[in-house]
């Protein structure tokens, strides 16, 4: 239940978000994707991942990847999402395409041959391995794009409230939220510690040996600071009645429209249809 107030809490949250430059941070916006209920976005994302892994060949996941990327563009979060996909996806794609194209056990059809290679003279690149690599690459890209567009278009507070309104216990909802925020918080804390250490004369850009030493100098305050912050947060939550039972009142209103409910049922139905198709037709 949302509490009626003269203060526009939603506007305050929108203005205070997206300023740290963290790639995992919520990106404010007013797109169709931003306005969807957080639970709806979670259900659709998980459904897309299931469907991508149910398809036996790469064209299906490829279509899902393109469709999900279109949603990313329409949501206006292309830059934030592509930064993560480029960092993770580029080395992943290179390793999948090279390893499977050369060493996949089912390789039979030569797609390309490279001559003049020392020791072996020729290296054959095979179609079967290439298609197998594409299958898993598009599956992983679908997973990344679907989950990332959900994370960067959903404010953590709205996600927590939406999960609790659907019946999830508050402790589980908080654990889910904390898992999503762990990397951004550690990254922000690490940057602050490095800045403080550089201000005190610590050289973090010299030789490899000094960089290793600076890494240890970073890890100790990072871990201690994280433990202290966790305890402080736990005390703050308990002082606000986090463990109390009964009906709760929320400042934020997270609407769950008929469209949201319809999209959730359609996503689940799509998974069932694809699963039945896979079982019947292989």
> Residues 102-117: what's their mean pLDDT?
83
Give the domain extent around 95: 27-154+253-282
> What is d(CA 181, CA 274) in angstroms, rounded to the nearest whole number?
33
State the total domains in the chain.
Answer: 1
Mean pLDDT of 125-138: 93
Residue in 52, 85, 64 with CA at minimum distance from that of residue 152: 85
CA–CA separation, 131 vs 62, rounded Å?
A: 11
Let me know if residue 229 belongs to a domain.
Answer: no
Residue-level pLDDT at 23: 52
Contact present, 170 and 238 (Cβ < 8 Å):
no
Confidence of residue 191 (pLDDT cuts 50, 70, 90): confident
Q: What is the DSSP string of 17-66?
A: SS-S--TTS-----SHHHHS-HHHHHHHHHHHHHHHHH-SSTHHHHHHHH
For the chain, where are the E strands, in sequence order?
110-117, 121-126
Q: Are strands 121-126 and 110-117 parallel, antiparallel or unpaired?
A: antiparallel
Q: Tell me whether residue 257 is in a domain.
A: yes
Query: CA 127, CA 147: separation in Å to the nearest integer?
Result: 30
More confident residue, 213 or 29: 29
In a domain, 17, yes or no: no
Q: Is the pLDDT of residue 207 over 80?
A: no
What tokens appear for 186 in the block? 């550690």
- Residue 9 resides in a domain: no
- Summarize pLDDT for 42-79 with one digit per residue, the tens: 999 999 999 999 999 999 999 999 999 999 999 999 98
Q: Is there a domain that residue 67 lies in? A: yes
Could you tell me which of 143, 223, 217, 149 has the C-alpha nearest to residue 182?
223
Is residue 207 in some structural domain? Answer: no
Question: Average of pLDDT values for 172-182?
Answer: 72
Q: In the prediction, which pLDDT does 263 show?
A: 95
136: Cα within 13 Å, side-chain hemisphere: 15
Does the residue 19 lie in any domain?
no
Q: Tell me the whole-structure pTM to 2 decimals.
A: 0.76
Token pair in block for residue 82? 């592509």
Sign for the pseudo-dihedral over CA of 12, 175, 169, 49: positive
Average pLDDT over residues 190-204: 73
For the ranges 7-11, 42-46, 173-177, 197-201, the maximum mean pLDDT occurs at 42-46
Q: Confirm whether 171 is domain-assigned.
A: no
Contact of 60 with 49, CB cutoff 8 Å:
no
| Residue 120 pLDDT | 67
Residue 190 confidence (pLDDT) above 60 = yes
Average pLDDT over residues 199-227: 71
Q: Taken in order 116, 117, 119, 122, is the CA torsion positive or negative?
A: negative
DSSP bridge partners of 122: 115
């Amino acid at each position: 239940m949302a509490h009626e107030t003269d203060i526009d809490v939603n506007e305050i949250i929108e203005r205070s978000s997206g300023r740290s430059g963290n790639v995992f941070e919520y990106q404010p916006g007013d797109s169709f994707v931003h306005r969807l209920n957080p639970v709806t976005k979670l259900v659709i994302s998980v459904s897309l991942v299931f469907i991508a892994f149910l398809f036996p060949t790469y064209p299906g996941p490829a279509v899902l990847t393109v469709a999900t990327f279109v949603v990313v563009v329409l949501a206006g979060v292309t830059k934030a999402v592509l930064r993560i996909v480029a960092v993770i996806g580029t080395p992943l794609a290179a390793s999948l395409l090279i390893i499977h194209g050369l060493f996949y056990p089912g390789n039979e059809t030569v797609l390309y041959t490279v001559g003049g290679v020392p020791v072996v003279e020729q290296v054959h690149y095979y179609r079967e391995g290439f298609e197998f690599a594409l299958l898993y690459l598009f599956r992983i890209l679908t997973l990344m794009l679907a989950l990332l567009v959900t994370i960067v278009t959903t404010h953590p507070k709205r996600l927590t409230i939406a999960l609790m309104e659907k019946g999830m216990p508050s402790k589980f909802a908080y654990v889910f939220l904390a898992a999503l925020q762990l990397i951004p918080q550690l990254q922000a804390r690490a940057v602050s510690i490095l800045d403080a250490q550089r201000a005190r004369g610590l050289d973090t850009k010299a030789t490899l040996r000094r960089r290793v030493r600076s890494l240890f100098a970073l890890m100790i305050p990072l871990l201690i600071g994280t433990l202290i912050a966790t305890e402080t947060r736990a005390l703050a939550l308990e002082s606000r009645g986090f463990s109390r039972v009964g009906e709760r009142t929320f400042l934020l209103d997270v609407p769950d429209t008929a469209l949201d409910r319809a999209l959730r049922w359609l996503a689940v139905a799509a998974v069932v249809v694809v699963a039945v198709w896979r079982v019947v037709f292989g």
